[in-house]
Amino acid sequence: MLNVRNLTVNLGRQTILENLTLTAQVGQITAVVGPSGAGKSTLLAALTGDLSFDGSVTLNGHDIARTSTTRLAEIRAVLPQATPMSFPFTVLEVVRMGRIHKTMNNRMASEALTRVGLHGFEGRFYQELSGGEQQRVQLARVLVQVWEPVAQGSSRWLFLDEPVSSLDIGHQLQVMRIIQDFAVRGGGVVMVMHDLNLTAMCADSVILLSNKMVMHQGSPRDTFRDDLLSSAYGCKIAVNRAPEDGMFLLPQVACAAS
């Protein structure tokens, strides 16, 4: 379980996040949404120990501020928004960077590439790929880091920053199925998302950030309400129910009558 209590992040003299309290459960997908500049990526960096903070963050009972990076790497993998690379690594070499122990072989890396739809890309150079292909290579890298969602009786975690931002709809759904499978098999997932419709389809819990704080945390149905979303994003948003009892979101025309 991920427990966050009274988390505050300051960058220089600016407070980015203030007094946040939230939780995330294993076996579930927890999505962090909110307007640009709300601090979503900053929150993810704090939760993974990549950014200093005030307050408390525990992951599987480990205080991440007092846990070694090696130990953290064994229980969680992190996918940032972008991972620039200056050297001409092959796709296989990039995926193998996710290994923690030397026992990982090329077969596992190739299997991860197949899962993200990149079978046969092993020998291609990373810099020659499209942005969406690079994003899927990086997802394969984090998957091999926590290949089994549960290891030695302890759940492992994926922390993903906009994992489908560069992908077409077919690959978005493919990646979301991979993420759902990881959670169903006992892992925990925390991901930053901009696409509210995909979030409504796939997330178990949603954290809505706005104005440096958690405006609401709950199920998509509880969180995706007209009043909450309109207040958070600063525009009229209507939540509509699809016939199969799903939902989709429409921004209202700005000049429409209230």
pLDDT-wise least confident of 33-37, 66-70, 192-196: 66-70
Hey, is 85 helix, strand or coil? coil
Is residue 258 in a domain? Answer: no
Give the per-residue pLDDT at 247: 65
pLDDT-wise least confident of 208-212, 214-218, 249-253: 249-253
**Per-residue pLDDT tens over the stretch 117-153:** 999 999 999 999 999 999 999 999 999 999 999 988 9
In this structure, what token pair is assigned to residue 136? Answer: 């899927």
In this structure, what token pair is assigned to residue 161? Answer: 């920053």
Mean pLDDT rounded to a whole number for the chain: 90
Is residue 257 in a domain? Answer: no
Phi (first) and psi of residue 89, to 5 degrees: -80, 145
What is the pLDDT confidence band of residue 252, given thresholds at 50, 70 and 90?
very low
Is residue 27 in a domain? Answer: yes
CA dihedral 181, 182, 184, 189 (to 10 degrees): -120
Q: 95: domain CATH number?
A: 3.40.50.300
Is residue 225 in a domain? Answer: yes
pTM for the model: 0.90
List Cα–Cα distances, 213 to 7, 17, 65, 149, 246, in angstroms: 10, 6, 21, 30, 28
What is the pLDDT confidence band of residue 251, given thresholds at 50, 70 and 90?
low
What is the pLDDT confidence band of residue 245, given thresholds at 50, 70 and 90?
low
Helix axes 131-145, 106-115, angle to 10 degrees: 130
Domain that holds residue 197: 2-251
Is residue 237 in a domain? Answer: yes
Is residue 256 in a domain? Answer: no
**Number of domains making up the chain:** 1
Phi (first) and psi of residue 238, to 5 degrees: -110, 135
**Per-residue pLDDT tens over the stretch 55-107:** 999 999 999 999 998 899 999 999 998 777 888 899 999 999 988 765 666 88
Is residue 52 in a domain? Answer: yes
Residues in the chain: 258
